Amino acid sequence: MSASVFTILFLIALGLYSAIQIWLSNRHLRHVAAHRSAVPDAFSDQIDLDAHQKAADYTLAKTSLERIEIIIGAVILLAWTLGGGLEWLDSVWSRIDLSTLWIGTGFLLSLFALLSIIDIPMSIYRTFVLEEKFGFNRTTVKTFITDQIKQFFLLIIIGAPLIATVLWLMENMGEFWWLWVWAVWTGFGLLMMWAYPAFIAPLFNKFNPLEEGSLKQRIQDLMTRCGFKSNGIFIIDGSKRSGHGNAYFTGLGQNKRIVFFDTLIESLSTDEIEAVLAHELGHFKRKHIIKRIVSMAIFSLAGLAILGWLMTQDWFYTGLGVSTPSLHAALALFLIALPVFTFFLHPITSWVSRKHEFEADAYAAEVSSAKSLTDALVKLYEENANTLTPDPLYSAFHDSHPPAAVRIAHLAS
């Protein structure tokens, strides 16, 4: 394949990616706006019109911003590739008297840092304009800046050794280097799953053990029935940054934690909290976490094998705006251009995720209460301003959770 042909294929893929995303967003906007005037019959006794319209307006605002982000993202990708951004960054680092390993590490670290910096204006708008407008933002300017600084240092502390290891393996482990990198990457992912709740998450939020009382006893009884052992039950100060509520379990092995947002604890009854936790435990009991780890390992192995072939082809570099082949350039091009060629997988991964949600709901209905979970979900839809009327095609493409009406009907059955 010639470089010019690959450039044309890349532009076609980017055009399709952007056009389909915008088309889906437009469908979503029209569908939500068309159903704004009335609460769906299934929710008419539980959600009032004002809350429904707030959710619709919030969704319309987020989706409108999403369309802008799609266009900006395409422009930024073109700037980094065919526009010469990666070529320029590579030339900057090549002037420094360092080994190729550290030049490559510095190149990739600076690329990721610059991508984060470029996203800051949109992040500011999302946090202090959009979320503020609908009453969800509780992040202060100080917290926002502190979070950015912490993320930067985590990139350096965690990212530098990982990138250097990957580049060293690519350079020294021969034709099948990608098998070694895959093993390291998979091990790193498992390590982060284990370490995140104990060492990284506390850098951003406070985790207070759930106080003794009837709620804690209910939760412990539920975990005993489900055969689930955790390293504690914690309340996270989610209200420090947002009014949205959530619950989840995190970690791996002996480092698993049950985590509730303080906003969720305040809004749900004891029965509803138990049902929400039962749903989260359903993911564990139905082995969804293991299935996701395995599927990600398979996808990453396939991706690295493809990269192993692509990096030997000159057209891969020149077709995307890089004149001098290198290990770090190949890795950078692959990471930033990959979504353009794999977006067609989104409906498949979304379908699998929604299937897991149905299974977790069914498990919660078995060990807790379907009615309590339904009541909790309705409250969360209302308090988080999640639309009850998403466009079906948009939802099928993007949403990891089933639409509200479908999910509630499934629970009722």
DSSP secondary structure letter of residue 108: H
H helices within 81-176, ranges in order?
85-94, 100-125, 131-133, 141-154, 160-172
User: Sheet harboring 233-236: ordered strands across?
Assistant: 207-209, 233-236, 257-261, 247-250
Sign of the CA dihedral 405, 397, 259, 223? positive
Is the separation of the CB atoms in 293 and 190 below 8 Å? yes
Compute the distance between CA of residue 16 and CA of residue 25 in angstroms, rounded to an integer: 14
Q: Which of 90, 131, 280, 382 is catalytic?
A: 280
Compute the distance between CA of residue 156 and CA of residue 216 in angstroms, rounded to an integer: 39
Which H or E run includes 236? strand 233-236
Quote the crossing angle between the two packed helices 3-34 and 49-80, to the nearest 10°.
170
Neighbours of 348 (CB within 10 A): 9
Compute the distance between CA of residue 185 and CA of residue 337 in angstroms, rounded to an integer: 19
Q: Which of 361, 382, 383, 391 is catalytic?
A: 361
Indicate if 171 belongs to the active site: no
Indicate if 280 belongs to the active site: yes
Compute the distance between CA of residue 390 and CA of residue 411 in angstroms, rounded to an integer: 19
Compute the distance between CA of residue 222 and CA of residue 357 in angstroms, rounded to an integer: 19
- Residues contacting 64, CB < 8 A, separation 6+: 29
Compute the distance between CA of residue 248 and CA of residue 233 in angstroms, rounded to an integer: 10
- Candidates 246, 361, 213; CA nearest to 221 is 213
Assign 3-state DSSP to the chain and report helix, strand, coil percentages, each to 5. 75, 5, 20
Helix (H, G, I), strand (E, B) or coil at 235: strand
Compute the distance between CA of residue 60 and CA of residue 63 in angstroms, rounded to an integer: 5
- If you count them, how many residues does the chain have? 413
Compute the distance between CA of residue 40 and CA of residue 404 in angstroms, rounded to an integer: 10
| Catalytic site positions | 280, 361
